Structure 1
Amino acid sequence: MAFDGLASKLQGVFKKLRGKGKLSEQDIKLAMREVKLALLESDVNYKVVKNFVNNVSEKSLGKEVLESLTPAQQVIKIVNEELQAIMGNEQSKLNFNHNGTTVIMLVGLQGAGKTTIAAKLALHCRKSGKSPLLVACDIYRPAAIKQLEVLGNQINIPVFSLGDKVSPVEIVKGALNEANKNSNNLIIIDTAGRLHIDDELMNELKDIKEISNPNEILMVIDSMIGQESVNIAQTFDENLDVTGFVLTKLDGDTRGGVALSIKEVIGKNIKFVGTGEKVGDLEVFHPDRMASRILGMGDVLSLIEKAQEAIDKDEAEKLSERMLANEFNFEDFKSAMQQMKKIGSFSKILEMIPGFGNSMKELKNINLEDSEKELGKIDAIINSMTLSERRNPKLLIGSASRKNRIARGSGTTIQQVNKLIKDFENMSKLMKQFKGFGKGKFGKKGFFPKLPF
């Protein structure tokens, strides 16, 4: 994940500061030197790093920090605030036309991920009540139109295309008429890119801009490119006056410097980040939350939002009721696992929990890949059970033939099947202690059943 290296180094710096108690000017200077090196190694623009370190140093050397009872915490607070500032401080929202059709134009170099982002953005906006129309204007890249049509079909969002023999300007004209006819109040234009910037590309984009009069011109940037992407963004902004940025591949092995540089250098905000390959892997960019993640403070708000969006509330309540009524079975367990998977992988969830940054994962020797594999094995075991076995787990107790069949069908061992059944039995025993909660002795104020561990 982006910022892993930076997060680890910054957290190491602050750990040293916390261990000192009172801080001297020399302590601050040494810490800021390490911060500077960490930012430069993360490919943050040099001028941005210089201004950032100067601002943090000036504020950290103030009397109220050095004489504070918790000076290290004060320094961390200042770093957090400055990180937010260089990324824009507040979330930058999309500029919707509330009295008509909103047009969003996506621009960028070839390979940045514009086509995928077009579909992700359409899905995101539909959740907010918009009726999107995707427009295929990349007539040069082989299969670009087909890719957008496939993505649109996956999420049930219409795609307007006139093939690759019609000019992008004519395609946009047709899309505007199509949207008006079908009451689509959001048009997302997937424009063509190039391997490098040229006059032909810019002139085509300018023509599309003139005919579509977009509310937003979002530049899609590949985070893997690093600082060169900031220079490219400057050229696009000078020619098109972009309104914001979308960073892709921020979930990959990237240093993340572009996220900390682009607002300061260009003066335009990051609006979204792509965090995975799935169509739903698009996050609104919150500078304060990103700063919190970088400093290992987690991002609980984003985790709650993901859970609220992904988990079916009625289904969750039913599972809870069945659990407390001691009626929970393997069918319910499978349903609960599916609900959790919608939130994301273990690694993505842990990134949002305070204290579980990159350094904490190393400290606790948490093998996230093994954890994901274990969940896959559990899923396979449950799928290999018959419907009656899933609904009545007692059928499996003492039945070697059933367990052997399940192990063979799931590609696991009899020991793994036994462990799942045993764990399920223990969970069921635990649930029995909650069965009377709210009545009888469990209803006494302040009473809580003793847990068997």
Structure 2
Amino acid sequence: MFENLSDRLSHTLKNISGRGRLTEDNIKDTMREVRMALLEADVALPVVREFVKKVKERGLGQDVNKSLSPGQAFVKIVQSELVSAMGEANEELDLASQPPAVVMMAGLQGAGKTTSVAKLARFLKERHKKKVMVVSADVYRPAAIKQLETLATEVGVDFFPSSVDQQPIAIVEAAVEQARTQFADVLLVDTAGRLHVDSDMMDEIKALHQAVNPIETLFVVDAMTGQDAANTAQAFNEALPLTGVILTKADGDARGGAALSIRHITGKPIKFMGVGEKTDALEPFHPDRIASRILGMGDVLSLIEEVERKVDKKQAQKLATKVQKGQGFDLEDFREQLVQMRNMGGMMGMMDKLPGMGQIPDAMKDQVGDKMTIQMEAMISSMTKGERARPEIIKGSRKRRIAAGSGTQIQDVNRLLKQFTQMQKMMKKMKGKGGMRKMMGKMQGMMPGGMGGGGMPPMGGGRGPGRF
């Protein structure tokens, strides 16, 4: 996410972060590079101009914090202005109304509205404990109605049926009534994709909005369209009183132009971003955390929240108790850790949120990629119960069978066993006093990158902008 922009800004700001003194010349040179980085990221020109102007003003007139060098203080200014450009803080949905609170979704065809309805339904149900109903008012695409019904079943929320021979207003009014009688807290309304140049379709959604009067009207837009996302949102905002934006496909957006342009151009906050295809891949949009990711400082808060939500606490406690009692750590335990990691979006999803990742070579990132962890899980799954409990019995013929069963090579099995032995040694050290601290000190040995013998460098080991 935002990989291109992050690489450019991290490199540019690294040059100035070590400076003991800031001058008008080195600020000017740095801001020229920052300006080019933002334009290449497809950030809208008015946003770039405003951003550069504010950073220059604050950089030249700053009162430098005594704990930071002037160069580091300048990087903090850049981070602060990135946060400001994206909206300061996360703005939650306003659901304070007589139930059901109606939330209407609008957007272009193919932006991901129907999937976003399902993701938001799951988010509200699981994290806010709301009783949610969904309805499709897309009478132009029968597949959209069926898709929403399937997704509603998957995420476990109520679905109000509709058909293509009905009028959108009649569908939603009936859904509101049904949601009220079934004591739903929130009704999410999926609408047909439309172009802002299509006056008939825009008139239809205006009439629907007027009839239903939703408490939230969210514009769903594809992050990969860059600054066009902001321009389209602005065009819709002139027709509908939008209350916020959902930025979809943000995980595939290496540039970041949409995230940095939307708030400035539309005046509307980005409330959520879609970061994957699964129904749990929706994150509240926190400008401060996104700014940290863009500058290579990671997003540890989001990572902690994800761990809290997705790690099986009973399983983790069971493993901790087992290790503390000295009962050992076997390959079945290792496999369960890999499954937990996959549930959290995989190794790369976690690494994206760790500080200093921009300074790790691509070859190293490839070594710790999700392909590697999936391969490891496949090898362990190809073992018998006895082999998982006692890896020392895995010799020649067993290795050949495991490799054949998992579609890997014998050397892959050897690497897995070598890494597992390293992890076993670390787990043994957890038994004694201060064991956890010792284990954390040797954390690099348990990363899949360590299978080649080199391990990973400590995160954030460089002198980039994240090293304040």
Counterpart residue identity of residue 15, structure 1: K
Task: State how 1:98-109 maps to structure 2 within 5 Å.
Answer: 99-109=98-108
Q: SS state of the match for residue 296, structure 1?
A: coil
Summarize the Cα distance change of 1:46–1:99 in structure 2 as closer, same or farther, 3 Å threshold: same
Q: Deviations over 1:260-294 (max 9, x none)?
A: 11111211100001111111111100011111111
Question: How many equivalent residue pairs?
Answer: 442
Cα root mean square deviation, aligned: 2.6
Deviation at 1:361, TM superposition (A): 3.1
Deviation at 1:412, TM superposition (A): 2.1
Check the 8 A contact 1:90/1:288 in 2, yes or no.
Answer: yes
Check the 8 A contact 1:319/1:336 in 2, yes or no.
Answer: no
- The 1-side partners of 2:404 and 2:5 are apart by 45
Q: SS state of the match for residue 365, structure 1?
A: helix
Counterpart residue identity of residue 428, structure 2: K
Summarize the Cα distance change of 1:451–1:159 in structure 2 as closer, same or farther, 3 Å threshold: closer
Q: Does 1:294 align with 2:294?
A: yes
Check the 8 A contact 1:87/1:264 in 2, yes or no.
Answer: yes
Task: State how 1:5-404 maps to structure 2 within 5 Å.
Answer: 5-62=4-61, 64-65=63-64, 70-97=69-96, 99-127=98-126, 128-324=128-324, 325-357=326-358, 360-362=359-361, 365-368=363-366, 371-390=369-388, 392-394=389-391, 397=393, 399-404=395-400
For residue 417 of structure 2, the aligned residue among 417, 421, 427 is 421
Taking only the aligned residue pairs, the percentage that are identical comes to: 45
Give 5+ residue unaligned stretches, structure 1.
none
- The 2-side partners of 1:82 and 1:148 are apart by 39
- The 2-side partners of 1:233 and 1:371 are apart by 35
- The 1-side partners of 2:70 and 2:368 are apart by 40
Summarize the Cα distance change of 1:100–1:33 in structure 2 as closer, same or farther, 3 Å threshold: same
Deviation at 1:447, TM superposition (A): 9.5
Deviation at 1:143, TM superposition (A): 1.0
Deviation at 1:408, TM superposition (A): 2.1
Summarize the Cα distance change of 1:398–1:43 in structure 2 as closer, same or farther, 3 Å threshold: closer
Deviation at 1:228, TM superposition (A): 2.4
Deviation at 1:449, TM superposition (A): 12
Aligned to 2:451: none
Summarize the Cα distance change of 1:252–1:402 in structure 2 as closer, same or farther, 3 Å threshold: same
Summarize the Cα distance change of 1:398–1:317 in structure 2 as closer, same or farther, 3 Å threshold: closer
Summarize the Cα distance change of 1:15–1:136 in structure 2 as closer, same or farther, 3 Å threshold: same
- The 2-side partners of 1:164 and 1:138 are apart by 8
Counterpart residue identity of residue 421, structure 1: L
Deviates more, 1:113-122 or 1:189-198: 189-198
Deviation at 1:238, TM superposition (A): 1.5
Counterpart residue identity of residue 80, structure 1: Q
Q: SS state of the match for residue 277, structure 2?
A: coil
Deviates more, 1:255-264 or 1:68-77: 68-77
- The 1-side partners of 2:164 and 2:352 are apart by 43
Check the 8 A contact 2:17/2:74 in 1, yes or no.
Answer: no
For residue 427 of structure 2, the aligned residue among 424, 431, 445 is 431
Counterpart residue identity of residue 381, structure 2: N
Counterpart residue identity of residue 331, structure 1: E
Deviation at 1:77, TM superposition (A): 1.0
Counterpart residue identity of residue 290, structure 1: I
Summarize the Cα distance change of 1:185–1:18 in structure 2 as closer, same or farther, 3 Å threshold: closer
Aligned to 1:409: 405
Deviation at 1:406, TM superposition (A): 2.1
- The 1-side partners of 2:320 and 2:67 are apart by 47
Counterpart residue identity of residue 244, structure 1: G
Deviation at 1:68, TM superposition (A): 9.5
TM-score by length of 2: 0.88
Deviation at 1:60, TM superposition (A): 0.6
Q: SS state of the match for residue 133, structure 1?
A: strand
Counterpart residue identity of residue 355, structure 1: G
Q: Deviations over 1:366-390 (max 9, x none)?
A: 2337632221221111111223433
Counterpart residue identity of residue 16, structure 1: N
Counterpart residue identity of residue 119, structure 1: A
Counterpart residue identity of residue 393, structure 1: R
Check the 8 A contact 2:387/2:394 in 1, yes or no.
Answer: no
Counterpart residue identity of residue 76, structure 2: K
- The 2-side partners of 1:237 and 1:327 are apart by 60
Summarize the Cα distance change of 1:447–1:48 in structure 2 as closer, same or farther, 3 Å threshold: closer
Deviation at 1:66, TM superposition (A): 11
Summarize the Cα distance change of 1:234–1:63 in structure 2 as closer, same or farther, 3 Å threshold: closer
Q: SS state of the match for residue 369, structure 2?
A: helix
Deviation at 1:214, TM superposition (A): 0.8
Deviates more, 1:64-73 or 1:278-287: 64-73
Q: SS state of the match for residue 258, structure 2?
A: helix
- The 2-side partners of 1:398 and 1:131 are apart by 51
- The 2-side partners of 1:65 and 1:430 are apart by 44
Deviation at 1:49, TM superposition (A): 1.2
